[in-house]
Amino acid sequence: MIDKTVRSMAEAMEGIKDGATVLVGGFGAVGQPNALIDGLIEQGAKDLVIAANNAGVGHVGLARLMELGRVRKIICSFPRSSDPVVFETLYRAGKIELEIVPQGTLAERMHAAGAGIPLFFTATGVGTKMALGKEVRDIDGRQYVGEKSLPGDVALVEAWEADRWGNLTYRESGRNFNPVMAMAAKLTIVQAQHLRDLGAIDPDHVHTPGIFVNRVLHVPYGDPTGF
C-alpha cells in the first residue's frame, strides 16, 4: 500500500542535508508552509539555498531561518515585505547572497525543472541587468534571454487537501508557487490542512497529482495571517 502520509515533523524533515536547495511555496503568507519552515528550523540543516518569492517577514519563518545563519543564498523576485529587517540586515552585512529573478522567470525555471527542460528562452529581461552573462538569442526577429531551470533538492509545499497517494488541491490564491515547486524537487514535502480518503478528491479537481509528492503531513492550522 502506498502511504505518503507521515506522523511527525521529524519524519517529514528526515534526510534534508546541509547545502540543500529548498523551494518554499507561498506568496506573502498565503499558501506558505509555515509549519514545515519551523520544522526545517528545528531539523538543523544549514548552508541552505532557499528559493521563494519573498525573503521573510519579521523574525519568524524564513526570516528566522536566515537570522539563525542557516541560509547561504536566497533566490527570489521580491525580497521586500512589510518587515524585511532580517534579510536587509544580513544583505547589507554581506552575510547572505541574493539572486534576484523576475517572478515569471522564477516560476518558469521551476516548471521547466519539473518538466525536464534544462534551458528555455524568454523575452523577460532582454536589455536589462537580468540578461548579463546569459545567452541572448534572436528567434524569428525577437530577442530572448536563455534561462536555466531551477531544480530543488527539497520543496516545502502548503496544500488544502491531500490523500495518501499525495494528490493535492490548493485553496484560492494559496496555489501560487506550490504546484511548480512540487514538480521541481527531488523530495517534495507537503503540509495539508485536510487529509482525505483515497478517492475522495474528485480526480477532475486534483491540482497536483501524487507522482510529484513524497511526504504529506497533516497540519490543520486554519487561515493565513500576516504578511
Partner 1 sequence: MSATATTAAKPYTRTEMAARVARDIPEGWYVNLGIGIPTAVADHVPMEREVVFHSENGVLGMGPAPAKDAIDPWLINAGKQYVTLRAGGSFCHHADSFAMIRGGHLDLCVLGAFQVAESGDIANWATSENDTAPAVGGAMDLAAGAKRLWVMMEHTTKDGTPKLVRRCSYPLTAVGAVKRVYTNLAVLDVTPRGFEVIDLAPGMDFDTVQARTEAKLFLTRQ
Q: Is 19 in the site for partner 1 (CB under 8 A)?
A: no
Compute the distance between CA of residue 166 and CA of residue 181 in angstroms, rounded to an integer. Answer: 14
Work out how close the CB of 55 gets to partner 1 at its nearest, in angstroms, rounded to a whole number: 8
Between residues 17 and 80, which has the closer beta carbon with respect to partner 1?
A: 80
Please report the beta strands in 19-86, taking only residues with DSSP state E, as ranges in sequence order: 21-24, 48-51, 71-76
Q: How far is the CB of 125 from partner 1 (least distance, A)?
A: 5
Residue 33 corresponds to which cell in the numbers above? 508552509
**Helix, strand or coil, per DSSP, at residue 32:** coil
Q: Note the helical H segments in 20-145.
A: 34-43, 61-67, 85-92, 103-114
Q: Which residues contact 181 (CB under 8 A, 6 or more apart)?
A: 23, 24, 25, 51, 110, 152, 155, 156, 157, 188
Map residues 47-66 to x or -, x wherever contact with partner 1 holds by CB under 8 A. --------x-----------
C-alpha R_g of the chain: 18
Nearer to partner 1 by C-beta: 5 or 193? 193
CB of 145 to partner 1, least distance (A): 10
Rule CB under 8 A: which of 142-201 touch partner 1? 170-180
Contact 65, 71 (CB under 8 A): yes
- Note the maximum CA span of the chain: 55
Binding mask 93-132 for partner 1 (x = CB under 8 A): -----x-xxxxxx-xx-xx----------xxxxxxxxx--
Determine, following the binding rule CB under 8 A, whether residue 67 of this chain makes contact with partner 1: no
How many residues bind partner 1 (CB under 8 A)? The answer is 49
* Residues engaged in binding partner 1 (CB under 8 A): 27-28, 30, 55, 77-80, 84, 87-88, 91-92, 98, 100-105, 107-108, 110-111, 122-130, 170-180, 207, 223-225, 227
